Amino acid sequence: MFLKKSKLIKSSSMIAFMAFYFGSVFNLSFWRFITEKVEVSNFYDFLFALSLPLFIFVPLWLFFSLIIIPKIYKPVLSLFVILSGITNYMMYKLGVYIDDSMIQNVFETNIREASDLLSMNLFLFVLFSVALPLFIIFYFDIEFKKFKSELSFRIVSTFILLFSLFIFAPLVYKDYASFGRNNKQIKKLINVFNYIHGTVKYYKKIRLEKRAFTILDDKAKLVPNPDDVYTVFVFVLGETARVDNFSLNGYEKETNPLLSKQNIAFFKNTSSCGTATAISVPCMFSYLNKNNFDSNDAKYTENLLDLMKKSGYDILWRENDDGCKGVCDRVKTEEMVKIGNPKYCTSSYCKDEVLLDGLEDVIKNIKNDTVIVLHTMGSHGPSYHNRYPDEFKKFVPSCDTSDIQNCSKEEIVNTYDNTILYTDFIVSSAIDILKKFNNLEIGLIYVSDHGESLGENGIYLHGMPYSIAPKSQTSVPMMIWMSDNMKKYDFINYECLKDKASKGQFSHDNLFHSLLWLMEIDTKIYNEDFNMFKGCLTK
Ligand SMILES: [Zn+2]
C-alpha cells in the first residue's frame, strides 16, 4: 500500500519531465547546430539565444499535454522515447536530417540494408538515452485529476507558456526570420516533430499515388541508322560512388588502375539528381529534370526503359542493390540475391561480380536489340568492407566494421577507396566482355546515383537535403565506352566526345535524352538540348 502510493506522480510532473528530457537529450543535434551557427554579437542576438530553449520546450509541453492521457500513456510515451532515441542517434552520430524522404527510405528499405546500420554503437547510445525516461514511465503511475480539472490545468498552463513566447516574439522576430531562412533544414533536426511531420508528409504522398499511369508517347519507335547489326547497350548503374575518389578525376590514390587503360570518355563534372537512391535512380530514367522531378510522379509515368521496350528493345535489369525503385517494374528483372550464386553471395547480399556472371552468354544469345542494366551495390555504406573481396583490400588500414564512427578518418577513406577499386574492376571487366562482340553495335555507360560523405565536417553517408548537401554527395562519376561499330553507326566523333566529357558540365538530366538518341528512338519527348553527344557528331 505504502509502496504503491510512493510511486504516484502528478501528470504535470510527467509532462514537464518529458518536455525537458526530449528538448535536451533527444535534441542533441539541434543544440549542436545552434552552438555552431548562432553568433551573439548584440543584445537582440542574446535575447534570441535565450529564447531558443523556450521555443523548443513550449511546443513539446503542448505535445505531451495532448498525448499523456489515462490508460494509453505508457505504451504511447514508450514508443516516442524509443523512436526519438534512434533518430537522435542518426542525427547526432551520422549527421542525418529527418524528413519525408528519409521516412520514405525507412519504409522502402529492406532488412539487409537496415541491418547494415545496426551496430553496438547504436545499441549502447540508444540504450543509455532511453533508460531514464523508460524507467520513469514504468516506475511511476500518474495520478490524474478529474477530467474537467485535468483539462483546465493543461489549457491554462499551455496558454501561460504561449504567452511567455509572445513576450519575446517582437524582440526576436527578425532573428528567427533570418535564421530560419538561412537554416531551413534546422526544423528537420527538432526531435519528435521532424519524424511526425515527415511521416504525415510521406503518407500524404502515398495516398496521392493511387492514380492513373501516364503514357509519354504512344508512337515512340525505333528508327535505326542504316546498319545490319544488333545494338546492345549496357548501363552499369553505380551506387554511392563519388567522383572525388576516382583517380580518373585526379584523386592521388590509384583507384582506377584498369579503367585508366580503357578507351573511355570520362565525364569529370557530373552532378546527381538527388542525394539518395530513392530519388536519383528513378530520376535518371525519367524525362523530368532534377528541378521538376517528383518520385511519386515518376512511379506513375513511363520511363526510359518503357520507351525502349515499346520501341522494340529487349530489356534486362540485373538487380544487386536495394531494388530498382520502380524503374524496372515493367521489364524483365533478375534479382541476384534471390538467385544466390554461392560464389559471390551470402544469404543477404552479393558482391558485384555476380552481375558479370553469365553476361557473355546473355549477349551471345540475344535475338534482338538489347539494353541490359546492371544495378551494382558499389560503395553502399556504412559496411564498406562488405562490398569487395579480400584481394581488393589494397588500401590499409581499413575499417572492417559498420561502426564507422569508431574508425579513424584514414581507415574509413581507405575502405571506401577499396570499394572504388573494386568498382573499377567491375566496370573494366564488363568492357572487356563487350570487346569480344565486334560483330555488334555495342557500348556501355557507367554512372553513379549519388556520392557520399566520409566524415568531412562530421558528416557521414548521404541523403542530405540537396540544397545544403556537400558536393561530395552530389558529384558523381560517369563514363562511356563505345565499340568501333557504335562510333561508326551513331556518327560519333569519339575524340571530340572525350574532350567534351573532360571539360563540360553534365548531370543526370542528360541521361534520358542522350540515351534515347543513342538507341535511335524517335519520340516527341526527346529534347535535343540535353543530348550530351551534340557537338561531337560526324553527321
Ligand atoms: Zn544510392
Predicted confidence (pLDDT) per residue in 454-511, tens digit: 988 878 889 888 998 999 999 999 999 999 999 999 999 999 999 999 999 999 999 9
Domain membership flag for residue 170? yes
60 closest CA partner among 193, 245, 183: 193
165 & 309 share domain: no
- Tell how far the Cα of 474 is from the centroid of ligand 1, in angstroms: 11
Residue 524 Cα to ligand 1 midpoint, Å, equals 30
| Number of structural domains the chain divides into | 2
Report how far ligand 1's centroid is from the alpha carbon of 340 (Å).
Answer: 22
In DSSP notation, 268-287 reads: SEEE-S-SSHHHHHHHHTSS
Does residue 225 lie within any of the structural domains?
Answer: no
Q: Same structural domain for residues 195 and 319?
A: no
Q: Which one is predicted more confidently, 37 or 248?
A: 248
Q: In terms of pLDDT, which residue wins out, 236 or 146?
A: 236
* Ligand 1 centroid distance, CA of 484 (Å): 32
Range of the domain at 34: 2-207
Instruction: Tell me if 216 is assigned to some domain.
Output: no
Query: pLDDT grade, residue 437 (50/70/90)?
Result: very high
Q: What is the pLDDT of residue 199?
A: 92
* pLDDT value, residue 165: 81
Per the domain annotation, does 25 fall within a domain?
Answer: yes
Asked if 325 and 414 sit in the same domain, the reply is yes
In a domain, 417, yes or no: yes
Q: Report the pLDDT value the prediction gives residue 134, as an integer from 0 to 100.
A: 95
For 86-106, what is each residue's pLDDT tens digit?
Answer: 999 989 988 889 988 888 887
Structure confidence at residue 435 (pLDDT): 98
Residue 3 has a pLDDT of 45
Last residue of a domain, one of 207, 224, 245: 207
Residue of higher predicted confidence among 402 and 388:
388
Instruction: Among 57-66, 183-192, 426-435, 470-479, name the one with the lowest average pLDDT.
Output: 183-192
Instruction: Check residue 178 and give its pLDDT.
Output: 65
Quick one: pLDDT band at residue 1, thresholds 50, 70, 90?
Answer: very low
- Whether residue 363 sits in one domain with residue 397: yes
Which of 207, 240, 258 delimits the end of a domain?
A: 207
Last residue of a domain, one of 142, 172, 207: 207
The domain that contains 270 carries what CATH number? Answer: 3.40.720.10
CA angle 52, 55, 58 (to 5 degrees): 140
Indicate if 239 and 190 belong to the same structural domain: no
Kindly state whether residue 213 falls inside one of the protein's structural domains. no
Asked whether residue 98 falls in the same domain as residue 239, the answer is no
Mean pLDDT of the chain: 91
CA of 279 to the centre of ligand 1 (A): 9
Query: Distance from the CA of 262 to the center of ligand 1, in angstroms?
Result: 25
536 in a structural domain: no
Residues 420, 425: Cα–Cα separation, whole Å:
9
Phi-psi region of 380 (alpha: psi -120 to 50; beta: other; left: phi over 0): beta
Cα(382) to centroid(ligand 1), Å: 12
CA 239 to ligand 1 center in whole angstroms:
5
Residues 239, 119 share a domain: no
Contact 215, 302 (CB under 8 A): yes
Same domain, 291 and 329: yes
Based on the fold, state whether residues 179 and 250 are members of the same structural domain: no
Shared-domain flag, residues 124 and 248 = no
Question: In angstroms, what is the span from residue 106 Cα to ligand 1's centroid?
Answer: 14
Q: How far is the CA of 381 from the centre of ligand 1 (A)?
A: 9
**pLDDT surpasses 80 at 156:** yes
CA-nearest of 17, 510, 529, 523 to 308 is: 523
Pick from 512, 94, 87: nearest CA to 307 = 512
Q: How confident is the model at residue 268 (pLDDT cuts 50, 70, 90)?
A: very high
- Over residues 182-207, the mean pLDDT reads 87
Q: Same domain for 240 and 199?
A: no
| Centre of ligand 1 from the C-alpha of residue 450, in Å | 6
pLDDT mean over 225-253:
94
**221 in a structural domain:** no
Percent composition of the chain: helix, strand, coil (DSSP 3-state, to 5) = 55, 10, 35
> What's residue 2's pLDDT?
42
In this prediction, residue 152 carries a pLDDT of: 92
| The pLDDT of residue 5 | 47
On whether both 182 and 328 belong to a single domain, the answer is no
Residues 55-59 have a mean pLDDT of 90
pLDDT above 50 (res 434): yes
